[in-house]
Amino acid sequence: MLSADERRAAEQLALALDGDPGAADEARELALLLSGAAGAARIDIPGEEVERALAGTRLPRPGTERTRRRARPLAAAAVAVAVVAALALPLLRSSPTVDVQARAAGAIDRRAVIHVVSRITSPTGVLPSGGLTTWIDHGGGRERVRLTRTDDHGIPLVDVLSTPGRYLRYQVRTRTAVTGPSCRVVASGCAELLDPVELYRQALLRNGIGNARKVTTGDGQVYRFALPLPGSVGRPGIHQVVSLDAETFLPRTIEWRDSTGTVAVISVALVEQLAPDALPAGVFRLPLAADTHVRQVDASGAEVRLLDHGRITLAALRSSSITTAWLGEVAGGWRLQRIDVFKYTAGIAVRYRYGDATVWTYDQVVPPVLRAGHLSPVKILEDGRSPVHFYQTDGGGAVAERDLRDVTVAVVAPALTKIDVLQLISRARPL
């Protein structure tokens, strides 16, 4: 309930913001402060940036839901780089840059899930050499990335899955996996998630093509142009030289260069764009071998350990500083029976028992019972609030999980249907 004084103070501030000199002292003070902060936040967005960003959100061709550039033999792509280098200068001619920019930006449609297959050759080690397969789903800001690196013979080395708030890296040969809240839990984790074609796309949208030239190569026509690398990527001084297919406007090769010459060549064999509902099953699931050793780490990379656990009353939980959520005193016809708190080195989890349903809430540490299934969400449902992730525990029980503002809630109910579990989790609210 707002007091009359508060309401008056708010009205006074509104007057002060309108420039009324008769407003109260506090109102004028706050108006000055707020105006200063707003002024600092009032950044200018130039018209060219708006147009460039707009070009990047357009469909490439009306009615085209799926754009695919068939894989060319990788060896041929590598040869093409050399041919481009040899033939480039005599055959250069100017082209209308604005069209290349717009079509290149439009060719990679962010509404689609992007699938890229490439081969990286990097004698200097600035990028890991070998095969790289990436799936990127920008999914309205909830970015999911699946990335698989192979050796030169196509044998998988590393498989990585990154979804909002979850990161899993699987070392295939050693059958070890590390999981945590973000790619930052592993020293090279975030760098490893960078796909060179995605870096090209980001640079294209942010910087635009300054000077594209049409070049005839032994493998058809390409547009060639240079772009910077996004700020924190690679070593300082590296830029990318892109050869863009003159028909599809998709990259064929991307060379990373510094002052010494070429430091990496990315031969793009396939750029495929799929509607989210046309994805092959399991693209964003990372199945682990049965004997995989999974290590859960906190945000700093340290292994998570259980420090203490015990029963707690509702009143004690309410008066504690633990951030948690619950389903209320009664849920699904069951009364709340008991509450337990689990203290880990990196966070706290709370378990509520309601008849056949168990509710977990956690922030940084995934309770062990959820950990195995938690790595591979089966299905994501949107119900107008935050998405609900469905997966199964080791024992096969259905789990529905949802991120609230400060905590994640998971409902485990082996005997219930998904609909029942969904109804239960929809009742989750902060305690």
Partner 1 sequence: MAREPLDEARFRREQGDLDLLFRAHYPEIVRYLAVRLGSREEAADLACDVFLEAVRSAPHLRWRGRPVLAWLYRVAANMAADRLRQRGREVPVERMPEPAVEDPDRLPDREALVRALGRLPADQQLAVHLRLVEGRPFSEVARLMGRSPAACQMLVLRAGRTLRSLLETEGIHAER
What does the binding site for partner 1 look like in residue numbers (CB under 8 A)? 2, 6-7, 9-11, 13-14, 17, 25, 28-45, 49-50, 53-54, 56-57, 110-111, 138, 140-143, 164-165, 181-182, 184, 202, 205-206, 230-231, 299, 386, 403, 405
Which residues make beta-bridge pairs with 257?
239, 262
Q: How many CA atoms lie within 13 A of 42 on its CB side?
A: 6
In whole angstroms, what is the distance from residue 214 CA to residue 91 CA? 8
Do residues 325 and 429 make contact, with C-beta atoms less than 8 angstroms apart?
A: yes
Provide the minimum distance between the beta carbon of 11 and partner 1 in the complex, in angstroms, as a whole number.
6
Provide the minimum distance between the beta carbon of 109 and partner 1 in the complex, in angstroms, as a whole number.
9
Sign of CA dihedral 210, 211, 214, 217: negative
Distance of CA 91 to the CA centre of its chain: 41
Contacts of 285 (CB under 8 A, 6+ apart): 161, 376, 377, 378
Residue 6 vs 152, nearer CB to partner 1: 6
Q: Which two tokens stand for residue 244?
A: 């863009």
Provide the minimum distance between the beta carbon of 132 and partner 1 in the complex, in angstroms, as a whole number.
22
Closest CA to 122 of 259, 270, 254: 254
Do residues 280 and 287 make contact, with C-beta atoms less than 8 angstroms apart?
A: no
Do residues 167 and 154 make contact, with C-beta atoms less than 8 angstroms apart?
A: no
| Amino acid letter for position 104 | A
Which residues make beta-bridge pairs with 306?
344
DSSP state of 277: G
Do residues 18 and 11 make contact, with C-beta atoms less than 8 angstroms apart?
A: no
Residue 28 vs 119, nearer CB to partner 1: 28
Q: How many CA atoms lie within 13 A of 25 on its CB side?
A: 0
The string of DSSP codes covering 61-111 is: STT---EEEPPPPHHHHHHHHHHHHHHHHHH-EE--HHHHHHHHHHHS-TT
Provide the minimum distance between the beta carbon of 7 and partner 1 in the complex, in angstroms, as a whole number.
7
Which H/E stretch holds residue 179? strand 176-180
DSSP state of 230: P
Alpha-carbon distances, residue 208 vs 37, 61, 88, 227, 274 (angstroms): 31, 20, 22, 8, 25
Provide the minimum distance between the beta carbon of 161 and partner 1 in the complex, in angstroms, as a whole number.
14
R_g of the chain, CA atoms, integer Å: 27
Helix (H, G, I), strand (E, B) or coil at 25: helix
Residue found by looking up tokens 């064929």 in the block: 252
In whole angstroms, what is the distance from residue 398 CA to residue 415 CA? 8
Residue 354 vs 360, nearer CB to partner 1: 360
Residue 57 vs 188, nearer CB to partner 1: 57
